[in-house]
């Protein structure tokens, strides 16, 4: 498998530190609100990466943190008149509701900053001892001048970064690019005791410590959104490699942005959407399918037209699934024919193309194209009275690939009991040659958005928009 490594800016063959195992850290949410569609992309993408690597036989130790100490959480708590930890616990619970709906599996570990405080303090102490950090007025800062390769991830030198003004000007810092490891307590803020006085950790140190605690000093993959390259991931590298004198992560994976109707998502533009907002209008699986329909490093545009296109595409796959289930129920209970054996061999070539696509830097767009090609060939061969064994083999292949992407998990196409009963009633009417009744039910189903097709293999149905 080849991965695009943001650190080297090229695709590289993936070689794990330990054969058959992957240690992976993905930056999780800051829990002060429902997560938005931009957050959803890395959560979904790297969930899919994990699924795929497990599919290929790897044991993946997958860590995704919760930042539950942050300025945004403190402000939200003050607005709502709650304790900041009450706010973070509330939105951790809400995160899991939306993540579960999107098919995002639980990480191996979901550490929280508040549970890691002793480790964070010990980590900072070591950086001070090694001369990479200094105390200033109750704060602790990382001295970027002590790390010779600072800027290697973002591709900017320390001089460029200092001139670029993307840094906080603070008289307590020795250098403009230095960043806080520990912040002295301010009125109304949560705090913890430390050797430097009451305070709380800075954002960057939290992820370094949680990664080290659960995965070790050097990990295989660190991942997150493109917006985290600088300063967050740049600072993680500096403090982690100064701490251990070892490489922090061998591969850095970053997903591209999501735009809304070809514009950058922004609250000021009124085009800011949480996943909870979107799930009020669209099925969660449609959003998952939409996000996976583009290669993860490319920007992706969210619009009503494109989400409906994704919905229609997903429905085509569900129709294929349901047609196979029907063929499994009604097909002849006989061994595979010679022709069917040959057809199944051809179908398995689509699996090879699917694997080739995902081996090429997790190209889910081409992987989905391989699934559609598989469905096309399955559909064309269901016209020839397949055996039950053929339908079962084709179904297993379709669901194997869909499972890697976390799609097609909905049972029986989501038809409610009334529609299922009408289809069965129409089948009885046709058997009894009551064609007037049969046509009446067909028209009723069409009005409900269900179109029927009578084939030599039995009735097939599809949803219309």
CA distance readout (Å), 110 to 34, 58, 96, 210, 345? 17, 20, 11, 9, 42
As given in the structure block, the two tokens for residue 406 are 């976390």
CA atoms within 13 A on the CB side of 136: 16
Pairing of strands 133-136, 59-64: unpaired
N residues, the chain: 465
Q: What is the pLDDT of residues 148-186, one digit of tens each?
A: 999 999 998 888 776 654 556 677 899 999 999 999 999
Question: What is the rounded CA–CA span in Å between residue 53 and residue 105?
Answer: 14
CA angle in degrees (0–180, nearest 5) for 205-82-190: 35
Tokens standing for 232? 């967050």
pTM of the model: 0.88
Asked if 459 and 330 touch (Cβ cutoff 8 Å), the reply is no
Take residue 402 and report the two structure tokens written for it: 């869909």
Reported as type and span, the H/E element at residue 10 is strand 10-13
Stated as kind and residue range, the H or E segment containing 73 is helix 71-80
The annotation status of 21 as a binding-site residue, yes or no, is no
Give me the pLDDT at residue 121, please: 98
Tokens (6 digits) for 128 = 């001070």
The pLDDT value recorded for residue 25 is: 98
- The annotation status of 352 as a binding-site residue, yes or no, is no
267 is annotated as contributing to ligand binding = yes
Residue 241 assigned as binding residue? no
Which CATH architecture describes the domain 307-412? Answer: Up-down Bundle (1.20)
Number of Cβ within a 10 Å radius of residue 270: 7
pLDDT score recorded for residue 66: 98
Listed by start position, the domains of the chain span: 2-255, 307-412, 415-463
Q: Are 392 and 328 in contact (CB under 8 A)?
A: yes
Peptide bond connecting 231 to the previous residue in cis, omega within 30 degrees of 0: yes
Regarding predicted confidence, which is higher, 443 or 34?
34
Tell whether domain 2-255 is in CATH 3.40.50.1860.
no
What are the tens digits of pLDDT across the range 291-328?
Answer: 999 999 999 999 999 999 999 999 999 999 999 998 99
The response to whether 232 counts as a known ligand-binding position is: yes
């Amino acid at each position: 498998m080849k991965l695009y490594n943001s650190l080297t800016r090229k695709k590289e063959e993936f070689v794990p530190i330990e054969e058959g195992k992957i240690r992976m850290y993905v930056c999780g949410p800051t829990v002060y609100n429902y997560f938005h569609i931009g957050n959803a992309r890395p959560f979904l993408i790297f969930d899919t990466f994990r699924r795929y690597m497990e599919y290929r036989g790897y044991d993946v130790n997958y860590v995704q943190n919760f930042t539950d100490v942050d300025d945004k959480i403190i402000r939200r708590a003050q607005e709502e008149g709650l304790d900041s930890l009450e706010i973070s616990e509330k939105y951790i619970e809400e995160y899991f509701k939306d993540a579960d709906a999107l098919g995002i599996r639980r990480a191996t570990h979901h550490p929280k900053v508040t549970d890691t405080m002793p480790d964070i303090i010990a980590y900072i102490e070591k950086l001070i001892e090694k001369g990479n950090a200094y105390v200033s007025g109750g704060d602790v800062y990382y001295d970027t001048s002590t790390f010779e390769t600072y800027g290697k991830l973002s591709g900017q030198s320390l001089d460029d970064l200092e001139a670029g003004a993307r840094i906080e000007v603070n008289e307590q810092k020795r250098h403009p690019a230095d960043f806080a490891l520990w912040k002295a307590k301010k009125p109304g803020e949560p705090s913890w005791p430390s050797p430097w006085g009451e305070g709380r950790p800075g954002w960057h140190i939290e992820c370094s410590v949680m990664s080290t605690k659960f995965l070790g000093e050097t990990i295989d993959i660190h991942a997150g959104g493109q917006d985290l390259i600088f300063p967050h991931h740049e600072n993680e590298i500096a403090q982690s490699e100064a701490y251990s004198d070892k490489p922090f992560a061998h591969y850095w994976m970053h997903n591209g942005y999501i735009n809304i109707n070809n514009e950058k998502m922004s609250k000021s533009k009124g085009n800011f959407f949480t996943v909870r907002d979107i799930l009020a209008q669209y099925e969660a699986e449609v959003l998952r399918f939409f996000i996976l329909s583009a290669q993860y490093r490319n920007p992706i545009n969210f619009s009503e037209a494109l989400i409906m296109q994704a919905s229609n595409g997903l429905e085509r796959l569900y129709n294929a699934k349901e047609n196979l289930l029907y063929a499994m129920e009604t097909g002849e209970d006989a061994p595979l024919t010679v022709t069917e054996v040959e057809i199944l061999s051809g179908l398995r070539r689509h699996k090879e193309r699917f694997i080739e696509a995902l081996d090429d830097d997790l190209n889910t767009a081409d992987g989905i194209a391989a699934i559609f090609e598989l469905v096309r060939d399955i559909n064309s061969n269901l016209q020839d009275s397949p055996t039950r064994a053929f339908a079962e083999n084709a179904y297993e292949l379709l669901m194997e690939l869909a499972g890697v992407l976390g799609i097609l998990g909905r049972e029986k196409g989501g038809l409610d009991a009334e529609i299922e009963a009408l289809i069965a009633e129409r089948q009885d009417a046709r058997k009894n040659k009551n064609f007037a009744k049969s046509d009446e039910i067909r028209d009723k189903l069409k009005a409900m958005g269900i179109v029927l097709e009578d084939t030599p293999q039995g009735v097939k149905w599809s949803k219309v928009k």
